[in-house]
Amino acid sequence: MENDVISKVYGTRVFNDDVMQRYLPKKTYQSLKSTIDSGQDLDREVANVVAHAMKEWALDNGATHYTHWFQPLTGVTAEKHDSFISASSDSRAILEFNGKELIKGEPDASSFPSGGLRATFEARGYTAWDCTSPAFLREDALGVTLCIPTAFCSYTGEALDKKTPLLRSMEALDTQAQRVLKLFGKETARVDCSIGAEQEYFLIDRDAFLKRDDLIFSGRTLFGAMPPKGQELDDHYFGSIRERQGAFMKELNEELWKFGILSKTQHNEVAPAQHEMAPIYDTANIATDHNQLVMETMRKVARRHNLECVLHEKPFDGINGSGKHDNWSIVTAEGENLLSPGKEPHKNKQFLLFVAAVIRAVDEHAALLRYSAANAGNDHRLGGNEAPPAIISIFLGEQLEDIVEQIIDKGFAEHSIKSSHMDIGVNTLPNLRKDVTDRNRTSPFAFTGNKFEFRMVGSSQSIATPNTILNTVVANVLSEMADELENSSDFDSALDSLIQKTLKEHQRVIFNGNGYSEEWVEEAAKRGLPNVPTMVDATPSLIDDKTVKVFEKMHVLSKVELESRAEICYESYSKALNIEAKTMLEMASKEYIPSVIEYTTKLANSINGVKSACPEADVSVQSELLTTTSKLLKEARTALLALDKSTKKGSEMEDGVDRATFYKDVVSTDMANLRNPIDELELIVDKEDWPVPTYGDLLFEV
């Protein structure tokens, strides 16, 4: 029955290959496929025919409007809807959609973050059809809308979105990887990076969510004491999925399948009320679009079940936060995974060269990769003994690490550690074949069989930026390797020498131990590896000379485009903390402090009442509670005034690194000083007097 459901709904909302073959003339279909598969220029006449076919397909499925769906530097998606309706000369409505409307749109560029690339009075921006990512239909309260994935650029040609640099980085990686493959005697139509983005999220009751202004405005709880039970029993992880969450997951799967998103895995995560889904791999561009759709769909479906899907990286203090594991590999058009070790990886020189290139790229651009996973929310998660630390390192596993050590020592490897069978000790259970290495969940960048898993990315983030940076820095290393090998007189000897030299010079970034330990922090410092704790600390790496040189050489981002993104980072960080600070001020002054005053009044009345009724009665408990509560109340009020002062000062500062640093160092400290006494008060004040749902209410009453 489930198979029947999947076959009926899968891809029904996507202008996919099957739909194109049905709606397009054969010649047009073949021309469009050549553009998609090989990067050939798109013919304008082909666009006209495709536009007509898209319109007919959309109308057949009930659409009335279309939109250029794009990904500005806000990190979320944007769209402007236009109807297919036009007026004819005889005052009748006709339905039109042509190639010009398909290829180009014109949203307002000045109203999106541009980091100075656009002035307020310079409004023009363009969206350009990305034919490599299929159009899709979205059905909601607006009706059915044809959504056309597009890139977004300014009037002067700079990228104002996340898709454009991603596409540029994919072309750079393709070009340089093909250069390397040719040295091994291989030809391929294209080399793509293949991505699988695991998505973690929280589900909480929507009624409870709406009673917490901090969740509404900032996506995380800014106050809250730990409940008696958290995640310490590990009973939620992979536990039986409850009915309400199961109903959500079932509908989520069906909605994603309609978009052609193969939602493969679903399970409970470590924290209570936390879950995870994982899709099948796709090219970086489509995987990025799909992940944006996943997040949008999660929120919509959750609300149908009176749930709220929370994607913040750290919505609950003291509880595991949420990440997005970005599984990255390099694959040819013919399906060869260039990071697959094969049966004898120590002899697989092509594999070893590509792995060496990744190791070098990660080591040389560690701070930049840390930036790629940076936002204000992820600062609370990284390094918190639950997620990868803020230090970039690579886990290779026992087999590959052994090969690397052999190559560093001798210039070549003589053997590979083989997998073995594991006898569990029960006759009725099968002997399992073990992998050649264990996994390391503390590593931010881990080799996992035939791919690297970048585990630092935050749950709310677009995967476009980390993959753009990863593609670009690896492409640059492959370019330099190709230069060296192409100019060598003895390829085999030069190849062995290059692999050894690269691994020897960059072995410091390889670490297979416990990334959560204090010992690793000390060891990383000795190795000279950067420890970048916050977004503000990470952002300078975006505009240092080394980054600019690489990104301009690979034609991914210009110096001006990089500088604009740095400005946006500082601005978004300051704004995020400013919103949080103002939310805390409002909640403390209008909810918490009045409630605590009411509670202290009850205590005082209780003391007076008991003393009046029985002068000999012991009221020491009430008196002690009143003293403690009043003391904490004063601390809260003092902290509130300090936060109000620093927030006002921060609000008056100009956007930039100084303002962001002030929020990081001063405002965030004042926020913590306000939270501490109120969280203590939560453990004292009667539950019926507490103004908002507690962690226990939010995490367990779902």
In Å, how far from its chain's centre is CA 601?
Answer: 47
Closest CA to 81 of 13, 142, 159, 164: 142
Average pLDDT over residues 607-623: 91
The pLDDT assigned to 1 comes to 42
- Tens-place pLDDT, residues 527-552: 999 999 999 999 999 999 999 999 99
- Tens-place pLDDT, residues 36-77: 887 777 888 899 999 999 999 999 999 999 999 999 999 899
Cα–Cα distance measured from residue 319 to residue 230, given in angstroms and rounded to the nearest whole number = 7
Ranges 3-17, 510-524, 566-580, most confident: 566-580
Cα–Cα distance measured from residue 524 to residue 488, given in angstroms and rounded to the nearest whole number = 35
Average pLDDT over residues 197-212: 97
Closest CA to 323 of 263, 380, 371: 380
Q: Using alpha carbons only, give the angle 322, 328, 330 rounded to the nearest 5 degrees.
A: 175
CB atoms within 10 A of CB 537: 19
pLDDT category of residue 89 using cuts at 50, 70 and 90: low
Cα–Cα distance measured from residue 591 to residue 212, given in angstroms and rounded to the nearest whole number = 10
Cα–Cα distance measured from residue 445 to residue 442, given in angstroms and rounded to the nearest whole number = 9
Q: Give the global pTM.
A: 0.94
- Tens-place pLDDT, residues 23-32: 999 999 999 9
Cα–Cα distance measured from residue 194 to residue 538, given in angstroms and rounded to the nearest whole number = 26
Least confident of 360-374, 426-440, 475-489: 426-440
Tell me if residue 458 falls in helix, strand or coil: strand
- Amino acid identity, position 617: A
- Tens-place pLDDT, residues 303-360: 999 999 999 999 999 999 999 999 999 999 999 999 999 999 999 999 999 999 999 9
Cα–Cα distance measured from residue 394 to residue 508, given in angstroms and rounded to the nearest whole number = 9
Average pLDDT over residues 556-569: 96
Cα–Cα distance measured from residue 30 to residue 281, given in angstroms and rounded to the nearest whole number = 25
Average pLDDT over residues 655-684: 97
Average pLDDT over residues 289-301: 97
The pLDDT assigned to 40 comes to 76
Buried/exposed code over 392-428 (b: 16+ C-beta within 10 A; e: otherwise): bbbbbbebbbbbbebbbeeeebeebbeeeeeeeeeee
* Residues across the chain: 702
pLDDT category of residue 437 using cuts at 50, 70 and 90: low
pLDDT category of residue 385 using cuts at 50, 70 and 90: low
Average pLDDT over residues 207-235: 92
pLDDT category of residue 560 using cuts at 50, 70 and 90: very high
Could you tell me if 53 and 20 are in contact, meaning their C-beta atoms sit under 8 angstroms apart? yes
The pLDDT assigned to 162 comes to 96
Tell me if residue 274 falls in helix, strand or coil: strand
Sort 250 into a burial class: Cβ within 10 Å, 0-12 / 13-18 / 19+. middle
Closest CA to 475 of 399, 361, 618, 349: 361
The pLDDT assigned to 438 comes to 66
CB atoms within 10 A of CB 18: 10
In Å, how far from its chain's centre is CA 604?
Answer: 51
The pLDDT assigned to 434 comes to 67
The pLDDT assigned to 186 comes to 96
CA distances from 309 to 77, 205, 455 (A): 17, 9, 21
The pLDDT assigned to 87 comes to 63
Share of the chain above pLDDT 90, in %: 77
Could you tell me if 191 and 330 are in contact, meaning their C-beta atoms sit under 8 angstroms apart? yes
pLDDT surpassing 90 at residue 292: yes
Strand partners, 276: 200, 267
